[in-house]
Amino acid sequence: MYVILFVGLILFFYYVLYLKKAEGGEDESAIMLPIARFLCFSGSVAFFAWMLFDLDPLYWLAVYSVICLAFCFQAKRKKAILLCMFLFLYIARIPMTEASILAHMNEQERYACAHDLECVEVTSSVGPDGAYRTKVERYDVDTSVAWYGLFSIGLMDMIGDDGTKKTITSVNIGGYWIDL
């Protein structure tokens, strides 16, 4: 389904940027510089591909296209256009779902969250006799993410089998989680 939607978006952007005629019959694509048309097309396609398929390099391609596109406009409009586009791309990268904080916890070596409802904490140490010891604790997990536009805060409440409670708080700024 996403592939069909993506192909439709590519065709739409191609039509709007390269084939559409202005109301007066004048070719609308002649108004924009060819490099600006290419940057609009590649930035739009990369952004929607990132949104649909969750491929991070495509997000950065969209950001660089926006930055380069801003340099194609007149100097007095350049800063405003660049700021608006950058702000839009920045906000689009901030997650709003609980799955994102679970993915962040899985990236850390200490926790492994196989399901949405439980995580395992793995701690390793070397004892006085030189033996390597590993301790595994299972926790029931309740996650929540609050989105505030420019950042989001994720909370992960963990209750162990023995009744111990832990709360992990993280802040997401620009798509990157920072543990507090």
Q: pLDDT per residue over 125-148, tens digit each?
A: 887 887 888 888 888 888 888 888
Q: Note whether 23 and 47 are same-domain residues.
A: yes
Beta strands in 23-150 (DSSP E): 111-112, 118-126, 132-147
Q: Note whether 7 and 86 are same-domain residues.
A: yes
Q: Note whether 129 and 162 are same-domain residues.
A: yes
pLDDT at 29: 46
Q: What is the extent of the structural domain holding 112? A: 98-179
Q: Note whether 111 and 153 are same-domain residues.
A: yes
- Burial letters for 117-154: b for 16+ Cβ neighbours within 10 Å, e otherwise? eebebeeeeeeeeeeeeeeeeebebebebeeeeeebeb
pLDDT at 22: 54
Q: Note whether 116 and 166 are same-domain residues.
A: yes
pLDDT at 51: 77
pLDDT at 28: 46
Q: Note whether 8 and 87 are same-domain residues.
A: yes
Q: Number of structural domains, the chain?
A: 2
Q: Note whether 82 and 13 are same-domain residues.
A: yes
Q: Note whether 36 and 116 are same-domain residues.
A: no
pLDDT at 1: 72
- CA triplet 149, 151, 156: central angle to 5 degrees? 120
Q: Note whether 77 and 110 are same-domain residues.
A: no
Q: Note whether 118 and 81 are same-domain residues.
A: no
Residue segments in the chain with a per-residue pLDDT below the cut of 70: 21-32, 73-79, 81
Domain boundary pick from 49, 72, 92:
92
Domain boundary pick from 61, 92, 123:
92
Q: Note whether 55 and 110 are same-domain residues.
A: no
- Asked whether the whole model's pTM tops 0.85, one would answer no
Q: Note whether 60 and 87 are same-domain residues.
A: yes
